[in-house]
Amino acid sequence: MIAEQYGALCRTVARDILGSEQDAEECLNDALLQIWNAIPPAQPENLCAYLMKTVRNHALNRYKAGHRAKRGGGQQAAALEELSELLPSSENVLSELERRELLAAISRFLQSLPAKKRNLFVRRYWGFTSFSDLAAEFGMRENNVQVTLSHIRKKLLAYLRKEGLL
Amino acid sequence: MNVTELSELLNDLPDQMIVSAYRHSRSGGDADIADAASAPVPAKSSSGQIAVSHRTSAVPRWTVAAVLAACLLFAIGFGAVLLHGNDDALIPQNSPVDSMLEEVTAATASAQTTAAGTENVTTQRTAQTDTATANAGTTQPVTAAVTSEAALSNETDVIESAEETVTVALPEATETASTVTEPETTTAVTSTTAQREPHKIMQMTSAEEVEREGSRMVGEYARRIAELNGKIDEDAPRITTAEVVQMVEDGMDFRAVLERLYALYPYPDYIGGSGLTNIEYWLDRSGTDFILLTIEQETVVHIVYSTDGTGNVFDILNKGGKP
């Protein structure tokens, strides 16, 4: 039932990150299995978004694992991952608050954008969708997608500076 | 903050924003997002298996329906505006023509549809038609046919569809008028082919008789009534084709021509019509050679009805009229 209702969306998220239908399918099944085991203890407010985020995390982990294997043991990636693992321990309460503020500011900025631009931004930077796929789905030329996203990024940067967050 | 942190940060974007970004190109509607947000958490099946299947992209039918509805409303509204605009533009405020048209409206009220979009067709119309047929037979051969369920009935009917076709045909002279009335007041479509009986009008000797005939013809024989009431002499000057042609050639538009004619000749021979408002200025007492002004179409036409079968002549004098 979950797969029937949200399978296509989740598969799109996984495919955009992994770039392969087969990998996306496997990732989706893994994520669904995790969700199956998590529910009902987990009672997400928005089931669809919960599914998509779970699939995204699975896909990102799978992507990292794949690149680690391809790069001779993944030393570089592993090092970066090690560094990133230090981040939570270094975070204090203030930084966590700053993080929340930053997220809230980004959300406000995105809410102020027209729907099309907002969707473009989310699809690109949350879902890692390729320019060509975005162009096809949004009925734009690939170049236009890139320019539009560039403008959004500049605006976001200016907004965050204005808010004193950068 | 590095890229990884930013990626993790963006993972916590609002749920609805994320779903909307993916749904937008598939179903295109917030309703789907709301549905997804409120979707119940599914219970595990007895088999414990999770089915994986492709979801068919939903077609944004409501969008198509909304666009079609908007186009339809626009078309109807535009038509109504045009009708209003024509009326307002053609009938000047405080113009002498106003009174003429008000009289026409009153005279034709019984034949017009009601504000509720229904039409009351009474036995009076049937009686009038029968009387007219009988009277006409004394002067010249007349064939009158009324195609109307209500006319064939002896009872008062309310036609819900408010659509009626009344046809009265004469061998030697006919005029046709049809229009769609304003949608706010009625949806009736009335088409009338009325017979011309100028000779009979001129032979009538009482104003009441002429008024009855005018009512039957959905109008008023204003000049003849004025003659019989002594307001003007029977030999009072009549309009000439040359006068009208000169007005048009002088660059006067339809409204100006109408006002000038009314100023010079305040009693047209006939004012009325069902659907279209016709104003006739006869060039002689026979009524077969006349200038016809149709307000809704803004046309000035010189018409000569043939009485010997050689064919009628229609000469549109102003070329700027509406089709």
Give the Cα separation of B117 and B160 in Å (integer).
7
Domain ranges, residue A90:
72-166
Claim to verify: residue A78 and residue A140 sit in the same structural domain? yes
Q: Which residue has the higher pLDDT, B252 or A41?
A: B252
- Looking at residues A89-115, what average pLDDT do you find? 76
Q: What stretches of B147-255 adopt beta strand conformation (E)?
A: 157-159, 163-167, 174-180, 189-195, 219-220
Any A CB within 8 A of B27 CB: no
Residue in chain A closest to B29 (alpha carbons) equals A115
Q: Both A110 and A152 in a single domain?
A: yes
User: How many angstroms separate the CA of residue A72 from the nearest CA in chain B?
Assistant: 21
Which helix (H) or strand (E) segment holds residue A142: the answer is helix A142-162
pLDDT in tens, B91-124: 444 444 555 555 545 544 444 433 334 344 333 4
DSSP B313: E
Where is the domain boundary, A71, A99, A120?
A71
**0.80 exceeded by pTM:** no
Q: Which residues of B139-153 are buried (b: 16+ CB within 10 A; e: fewer)?
A: eeebebebebebbee
Are A94 and A122 found together in one domain? yes
Q: Are A5 and A65 part of one and the same domain? A: yes
Q: For the domain that residue A94 is a member of, what is the CATH number?
A: 1.10.10.10
pLDDT, one tens digit per residue, over B140-192 is: 443 333 333 434 444 434 434 434 444 444 444 444 444 444 444 333 333 33
What does the pLDDT read at residue B268? 92
Q: Inform me whether the C-beta atom of residue B207 falls under 8 Å from chain A C-beta atoms.
A: no
Whether residues A164 and A141 share a domain: the answer is: yes
Same domain as A129, residue A156: yes
d(CA B5, CA B11): 10
Domain match, A80 and A50 both: no
A-chain CB neighbours of B26 within 8 Å are 8-9
CA atoms within 13 A on the CB side of B158: 6
A160 shares its domain with A106 = yes
- Asked if residue A53 and residue A13 are part of one domain, the reply reads yes
Is A44 in Cβ contact with B52 (below 8 Å)? no
Pair A67, A93 in one domain = no
Q: Is the pLDDT of residue B222 over 80?
A: yes
For B36, which residue in chain A has the nearest alpha carbon?
A48
Nearest residue of B to residue A133, measured between CA atoms: B25
Task: Tell whether B3 is within 8 A of chain A (Cβ).
Answer: no
Q: How many residues does chain B have?
A: 323
State whether A108 and A158 are in the same domain: yes
Q: Which among B1, B4, B50 has CB closest to A3?
A: B50
Domain count, chain A: 2
Instruction: State the best of B3, B18, B35 to mutate against chain A, taking most chain A CBs within 10 Å.
Output: B18
Q: Kindly tell me the number of DSSP H helices and DSSP E strands found in chain A.
A: 8, 0
| Residue B185 or A101, more confident | A101
**Contact: B13, A110; criterion CB under 8 Å:** yes
Residue where one domain finishes, among candidates A20, A53, A71: A71
> Is A84 found in the same domain as A143?
yes
pLDDT at B245 over 70: yes
Of A71, A103, A133, the residue at which a domain comes to its end is: A71
**pLDDT category of residue B88 using cuts at 50, 70 and 90:** very low
Nearest-CA residue of chain B relative to A11?
A: B54
Pair B288, B198: CB distance under 8 Å:
yes
Q: Which residue of B has its CA nearest to A101?
A: B9
Q: Which residue has the higher pLDDT, B48 or B204?
A: B204
Q: Give the closest of A11, A33, A103 to B9, CB-based.
A: A103
Q: Give the mean pLDDT of chain B.
A: 64
Residue B41, chain A, CB below 8 Å: the answer is yes
Tens digit of pLDDT for each residue in B22-71?
876 554 333 333 333 344 334 434 343 333 333 344 445 677 888 888 88
Crossing angle of helices A2-18 and A47-70, in 10° steps, is 30
A4·B42 Cβ contact <8 A: no
